[in-house]
Structure 1
Amino acid sequence: MKKRILFICLGNICRSPSAEAIMKYYVKDRGLEEQYYIDSAGISGYHSGDPADRRMQSHAIRRGYDLTSLSRKFYPDADFSDFDMIIGMDDQNIRDLQRMATSEEEKNKIFKMTDFCQRFSYRDSVPDPYYGGDSGFELVLDLLEDAVEGLLDQLENK
């Protein structure tokens, strides 16, 4: 049975689709595609159906990541039961997810992305690059690469 992982941010147009694309890239690179199902969603539905932010896509493509997913809203009733891990990008995402969880089992599926970082000691959150410049998008990708690698190492060494 595939391990099912859902990445969450506010609008699902910058951070979570990037985490999804990076995770898919690393999983494919390690030959583990048959073992994982990876998706992303947003706490809000503001951007549902939209592609990832063009600036995020541009920075990601330079590193070989293809952000092809379309934004969708997080649906607690379906997503908590459909996924094994629900990984939020920042503390507010985590608080929102915990508020939507209706059981301890659901709460135990919630994780924070930066908790998987190995190289960066950036524990607060993956900052939202939406209102910033190029350096913000690059920082997000640096943090996500580190965290995805840590997450995958942890999952594969269990």
Structure 2
Amino acid sequence: MSKKTSLLFVCLGNICRSPAAEGIMRHITKEHMMEDYVDIDSAGIGSWHAGELPDRRMRSHGSAHGYDFSSRARQIKQEDMQRFDHIIVMDDENYKDVTAMARTDEQRRKISRMTDFCKHHPGHTAVPDPYYGGDRGFELVIELLEDGCKELLKQIAQKHGVAYLL
């Protein structure tokens, strides 16, 4: 078996979108018995929420879909740029901030937007921050992340030569 593919999901504070992406990816990875092929983590641009659980509303919406969003927030570090194979950001501001951390072209090539993987939401170019919105914003985040995570896992399965069925 080849080395695990490592994924880091990044949003602004690591309390809504990126921990949800981490939880959804963990869930579908387990569901497809691919835990031996993928390492998953999340981080935020800022350190404001370091050590905190995800936003209670995000956890509640995730739980309603059968997901566990219980990772603790942390800030992205320079060593993450080397450690992870893929760094997946939620919006253009995250992309700008993480790209500014990259020291090499190789590190810049690791960075992509979550919506780059979405197949069923063509009008969305970002996973919007639901923090100041209502319930529909949290549900949209989950829908976008499910779409993107499924396609990303499909690509990882192909890389490892593993059968992947949706």
Match of 2:10 in 1: 8
| In 2, Cα distance between equivalents of 1:82 and 1:122 | 32
Task: State the match for 1:22 in structure 2.
Answer: 24
Conservation of the 8 A alpha-carbon contact between 1:115 and 1:123:
no
The residue type equivalent to 2:86 in the other structure is M
Distance in 2 (alpha carbons) for counterparts of 1:128 and 1:157: 31
Q: Mapping of 1:58-69 within 5 angstroms?
A: 58-69=60-71
Query: Equivalences for 1:118-157 in 2 at 5 Å?
Result: 118-157=119-158
Mark the runs of 5 or more structure 1 residues left unpaired by the alignment: none
**Cα deviation per residue 1:65-98 (whole Å; 9 max; x = unaligned)?**
001100000002x101110000000010001111
Q: Which amino acid counterpart does residue 42 of structure 2 have in structure 1? A: S
1:100 aligns with 2:101: yes
Q: Work out whether 1:44 is the aligned partner of 2:46.
A: yes
| Distance apart, 1:122 and its partner CA | 3.2
2:162 corresponds in structure 1 to: none
1: CA distance, partners of 2:82 / 2:123: 30
The answer for unaligned runs of 5 or more in structure 2 is 160-166
Q: Summarize the alignment of residues 57-96 of structure 1 with structure 2, pairs less than 5 Å apart.
A: 57-76=59-78, 78-96=79-97
Aligned identity (percent) is 50
CA distance in 2, matches of 1:88, 1:38: 14
The secondary structure found in structure 1 opposite 2:147 is helix
> 1:90 & 1:69 partners in 2: Cα distance?
21
Q: Per-residue deviation at 1:140?
A: 0.3
Equivalents in 1 of 2:37, 2:158: separation in Å?
A: 14
Give 3-state SS (helix, strand or coil) of 2:142's partner: helix
TM-score normalised over the length of structure 1: 0.97
The answer to whether the 8 A contact 2:5-2:156 is kept is no
TM-score by length of 2: 0.93
Cα pair 1:12 1:72 within 8 Å, conserved:
yes
Q: Hey, which bits of structure 1, 4+ residues long, moved more than 4 A?
A: none
RMSD, aligned CA: 0.8
